[in-house]
Amino acid sequence: MEHPLSMSYGPLPGWLLLLVLGAISGGFFLYQVVKASRLVLIGAPDNRFDNWGARIKEVITGWLGQKRVLEDRIAGGIHVLMFWGFLMLSTDMFDLATANWFSHNLLPDVVRGPWNLIVETGYTIALIGCCAALLRRVVFTPEKLKGKSQLEGNFILVLIMTITLTSFVVEAGEAGVSSTWEPIGAWVADTMSPSTLLVVASYWMHMLAISTFLFLIPLSKHMHLVMAFPNVFFHDMRPMATMEPLARGEDGKAVLLDDLDIESFGTVNYTDLTWRNLIDGWACTSCARCQDVCPAFQSGKSLNPMQIIHDVRHYANDNSTALMAGETPAQDIIARFGEEAIWACTTCHACVEACPIYIDHVPKLTDARRHLMMERMEFDESVEETIAPLMATIENLESDSNPYGLPAHERGDWAEGLDVKVAEPAEYIYFAGCAASFDERNKKVARDTISVMKEAGLDVGILGMQEGCSGDSARRAGNEYLFQMLAETNLATFEEIGVKKIVASCPHCFHTLGKEYKDYGGEDIEVMHHSQLINHLQQEGKLPDPKHDPSVTFHDPCYLGRIGGELDAPRNAIGGVDVEIERHGKQSFCCGAGGAQMWMEEDADQRVNVIRAKEIAETGAETVAVGCPFCSTMVSDGLSAIDSKMEVKDIAEIVWEQIKANDAAIEAKKAAPVQTEA
Amino acid sequence: MANIVVLVKQVPDTNAKIVVSGDRVDLSAVKKVMSPYDEFAVETALQHREATGGEVTALTLGGAGADKVLKDAKAIGVDHIVRIDSEAELDSNALQTAITSVLSELGAEVIYCGKSAADSGAGSTGPGIAERLGWASVSNVTSVAFDGGITVVAPSEGGNARISVSMPAVISCDKGNIKVRKPNVKGIMQAKKAKVDVKSISVQASSVAVVSHSMPPAKPAGKSYEGGAAAAEVARLLRDEANVI
């Protein structure tokens, strides 16, 4: 039969109809993509053109390989079918639009067959994926989709179904459809022998569906078809949760405070966000995985990480004329995010970890905090109570280099009587951090850590009153200036004393000193978490093998596990964990203290630690091991709130208890009278 | 419009541990801060400017290290910062004379200062300068209002006095209900770049000198008593030794 494109429809030839259809839909699509790109490119500069090898690799695994999408086996699997299906079938569009000129004239004969098979497979798996997706949405509706409009999602799926089904009929209508290379088309031809009318109708339905799709893509979450690729390619390659200094010099290092010369701080306007941060808005697929794992959202606070990302795109569209004209809209982006949301984030990065297309939710919030904390210094009424204790903490950090406001000269007092070097060179410097220096419960962790290190015969010292706060809380709270001041002071101390290896029992110190200080100096200093050192010493035989205790579970601190990437050492250090908390490892749920939340007021009915405590209690374990002073406090409080008798112990406490028990057993054995034969 | 001067002094951090080595306080490891009462003086001076217009100059005396407190004042909004350059340890007499000589040069019309410095605690600078200038002097004020003139509240025997002060005057500030504003980082950064106007003047010699510093004697250990039988003895000690009942 004649190709539908070569037919005439009344006075109009088919090709003219297609040309008009294509020009309208394609033109609209292009216009919208250009508009979105312009709205992205007015963002602040950000050098993401480094490290091409690693970026390409990530595109292969993360975009083509759908690595993160597949973290959700069902939804991810369905997505892979449609994603790969579309990649495979996409070139058929050229063939359909050129009345088979593409396959018959452009493709070499030897390629045509396999090409047909690829396209055919593409249509087939896209159809399977599409049916599965519809089934998931309509029949097995996930909790997060219930009560929400399914119209857009379902309509798109019906479109995809139309595109795939009609393609088989069109194939069947082609002369010489090959049962080898186009088995389904051939089967349709054999069994249904579609009439010319049906083939022609299918062809135009197919083209119409594609055109509709072109309209819908830029207006819906399906813009991710365009923006996911750049989002993955230009993703942040630094270690997770490493924040950006106020300014970088030509050498790539942070500009030191004395040389710093900047006029504005953080994000208040849309254009203060970097262009890569802005792409997120259009790349978001609304899968809501971030919302599912967010401790703020789960505890009923105003923050929904997905909404923050939607806010970026909606704000841009609402104000597109002003933004593209270089004007500043009346409402700033902070007002759009909402201060309650901005101050609710624990910076646990569960959202970032969960996102299949590498969206960075957290910097948008912490950059907004920077503006509020360093420049505006005025807070919305809705957050005044939340912020009040944080402001007192900031003052304490400024005056005494600890959040509690206790005298800085008392910082090393916890080590009294421990026979440890103070502020002098030693192979290992134990950086106690504020909590273990001043908080009674956590001082014991510091003392036990030192005892364990000395037991292994290490040359160990502390910095005593010369140690200062690492600055983690100041940084996450948005006071970057204070953070940098604390960092520069500590780095000067490290240099003066000749610090080479630092051991921290606080994962926030571990992260800040180990990853973030590198921008300011001290590149050669090795920083480890105490669980890593303990585990290493056990493996080397410098400490006895840990004793396995089946009644102990372990709560992964965000900044050690998900962010720090260390999941095994703390478990190995205490002899392995049999009963895991349901959300553990990289999927661990925050205790509620991170992101300077430790120092903010939290509504009694929105406590993150209570949610976590329930999850911990559900394991039925007798003891929960922790590796973070803030987790220790939050989990203990949470367990009390739910009347659980479970014990909370730091890794170091458990290890030191085991060593002491071991020593006592040996002593008892020695002291026992030697049995002699009568 | 008023030409306002606020006097600020750098003192050891009030939270710091004070160590006496030899017969002198060793401040080498101690952080220096603006004397807390001076912070109230700076805040009051800024409120004065906001009410009547004019300019605020922060003035200190010391070596280059004292620039920090001037920059702290600059960060929250004073217009000019001036330091009388002197590393010498001056007594009150020499210090007040030196400051007075510069005040005339600055054309001051009203002077604010803290009620006393956190280190020496003498409280003589404000009144001493007023005496030298022949100006009005009010000390320990807890609140200031600028409705037409300057009205201050200062403690007096058995209560508070509301006092109307005419310029020129020296006003020393207590904590009261004055809430000190906080600098934002932008202010701090700009203050860092601000230039300190350094005055070199000849300073007269001190007429008194510190002979030695010593720590206050350690508190004697407390006594503890148990059981009802000791009640009479405890009551006697509270009455005769502690003088509390």
Q: What is the DSSP string of A504-517?
A: ESSHHHHHIIIIIG
CB contact (8 A) between residue B185 and residue A260: no
Q: What DSSP string runs through A164-226? A: HHHHHHHHHHSTT--TTT-HHHHHHHHHH---HHHHHHHHHHHHHHHHHHHHHHHHSGGGHHH
Residues 31-60 of B with CB under 8 A from A: 33
Asked if residue A678 has pLDDT above 60, the reply is no
Torsion A205-A207-A210-A214 (CA) sign? negative
Instruction: Give A-chain residues touching B193 at CB under 8 angstroms.
Output: 261
Peptide bond into B168 cis (omega under 30): yes
CB contact (8 A) between residue B17 and residue A409: yes
> Does B189 contact A at CB distance below 8 Å?
yes
Which 3 state secondary structure label does DSSP give A673?
coil
Give the pLDDT band (50/70/90) at residue A604.
confident
- Output the pLDDT for position A673: 66
Helix pair A14-41, A275-283: axis angle to 10 deg: 140
- Output the pLDDT for position B244: 84
CB contact (8 A) between residue A374 and residue B13: no
What superfamily does domain A266-378 belong to in CATH?
Alpha-helical ferredoxin (1.10.1060.10)
A112-124 average pLDDT score: 95
Of A547-561, B95-109, B217-231, least confident by mean pLDDT is B217-231
Q: List phi, psi (to 5°) of A646.
A: -60, 145
Tokens for B93, please give them.
């007499």
pLDDT tens digits for A368-380? 999 999 999 899 9
Mean predicted lDDT score pLDDT of chain A: 95
- Output the pLDDT for position A437: 97
Rounded to the nearest 5 degrees, what angle is found at the Cα of A121, between the Cα atoms of A213 and A55?
70
Give the pLDDT band (50/70/90) at residue A118.
very high
- Output the pLDDT for position A60: 97
Strand-pairing partners, residue A449, are none
Q: Which helix (H) or strand (E) holds A276?
A: helix A275-283
- What is the percent of chain A where pLDDT is above 70? 99
B40 contacts B180 by C-beta, under 8 angstroms: yes
Interface test with B, best of A369, A373, A374 (most B CBs within 10 A): A374
Total number of residues shown for chain A: 678
Which of B16, B182, B185 faces A481 most closely, judged by CB atoms?
Answer: B185
Q: Which residue of B has its CA nearest to A409?
A: B17
A328 min Cα distance to partner chain B (Å): 21
Q: Which helix (H) or strand (E) holds A502?
A: strand A501-504
Q: Which helix (H) or strand (E) holds A554?
A: strand A552-554
Q: In 3D, which of A512, A591, A590 has the Cα closest to residue A351?
A: A590
Which of A264, A375, A407 faces B15 most closely, judged by CB atoms?
Answer: A407
Strand-pairing partners, residue B113, are B172
Asked if residue B19 has pLDDT above 90, the reply is no
CATH code at A8-226 = 1.20.950
Measure the CA–CA gap between A347 and A338, rounded to whole angstroms: 17
> Does A259 contact B at CB distance below 8 Å?
no
- Output the pLDDT for position A675: 61
Which of A375, A399, A407 faces B186 most closely, judged by CB atoms?
Answer: A375
pLDDT tens digits for A216-247? 999 999 999 999 999 999 999 999 999 999 99
- Output the pLDDT for position B149: 85
CB contact (8 A) between residue B185 and residue A374: yes
Q: Which residue of A has its CA nearest to B32?
A: A399
Asked if residue A323 has pLDDT above 60, the reply is yes
- Output the pLDDT for position A41: 97
Measure the CA–CA gap between B65 and B10, rounded to whole angstroms: 9
pLDDT tens digits for B151-176? 999 999 889 999 999 989 999 999 98
Give the pLDDT band (50/70/90) at residue A676.
low
> Does A375 contact B at CB distance below 8 Å?
yes
Which 3 state secondary structure label does DSSP give A98?
coil
- Output the pLDDT for position B17: 82
> Does B185 contact A at CB distance below 8 Å?
yes
pLDDT tens digits for A461-483? 999 999 999 999 999 999 999 99
CB contact (8 A) between residue B17 and residue A407: yes
Asked if residue B31 has pLDDT above 60, the reply is yes
CATH architecture of B2-220: 3-Layer(aba) Sandwich (3.40)
Asked if residue A672 has pLDDT above 80, the reply is no
pLDDT tens digits for A20-63? 999 999 999 999 999 999 999 999 999 999 999 999 999 999 99
- Output the pLDDT for position B223: 82
Measure the CA–CA gap between A194 and A200, rounded to whole angstroms: 10
Q: Where do the structural domains in chain A lie, given as residue ranges?
A: 8-226, 266-378, 389-661
- Count chain A–chain B contacts defined by CB atoms under 8 A: 35
A189 contacts A177 by C-beta, under 8 angstroms: yes
pLDDT tens digits for A57-74? 999 999 999 999 999 999
Measure the CA–CA gap between A92 and A166, rounded to whole angstroms: 13
Measure the CA–CA gap between A457 and A540, rounded to whole angstroms: 12
One fold for both A8-226 and A266-378?
Answer: no
Which 3 state secondary structure label does DSSP give B164?
strand
CB contact (8 A) between residue A264 and residue B186: yes
